[in-house]
Structure 1
Amino acid sequence: MQVQLNYYDWDQGTAKQQYEILRGYGIPVMVMEPVHGSMLANLPEECLQFLPKTGASPAAWALRFVMNLPGVAVVLSGMSDMRQTEENVNTAALEDKLTDEELSKLEKIS
């Protein structure tokens, strides 16, 4: 089933509850709006300070958040040019999970 899911809506909206219901029934999760309509890709300067300093873009961190969740089968990510396509493919290819510290930093932004 498809739900709007991103780290901003995780605690601000119903994303976490919807995700947990789907997981409870063993239903694969399809994520829409992983960057909250580009809001999480275009963070204000005061929020950028909280992102882990790895060189990854704000959009990549938003994608990594949802890809990090167990049971996520599909992430629908709009891409308008080849640079975004390449960045999203490279982000999806990462196999390492987010650390607790990285998750904590994303939580501070939301």
Structure 2
Amino acid sequence: MTTRCLICDSSVVLSQEEAQAIALLIGLLDGFLKGIQGESSATPGGAVANPLGHTVSRMIKGISGAVSNWADTQAFIREHRKFHFMGYDRLCLRCGALFDDSPNVESPLDG
């Protein structure tokens, strides 16, 4: 069942949980990418002495970067909940309406 906006009837409605999952994914990817952009072990000619070891090392640095970015990501999520959702459960991305999940209330259009 698709949640529809109470104001404009749009189906482009984002829940707090969905927004949190998106923010977590972006935060982890940001930390991972920052981590792997560190120093490389390539030789001056551009070749890597041990490609498998180099790849594993970069992955470890990426995971470490994602972990170190965790606190910043959590702070961003708290601010996002506070300022974008303002205590409501859902946000319409079309008209900006904020509303809570409602129990299954039959609408007049359902007949």
User: In which range does the TM-score fall when normalised by the shorter chain?
Assistant: under 0.3
- TM-score (structure 2 length as normaliser): 0.23
- Which one has the largest radius of gyration? 2
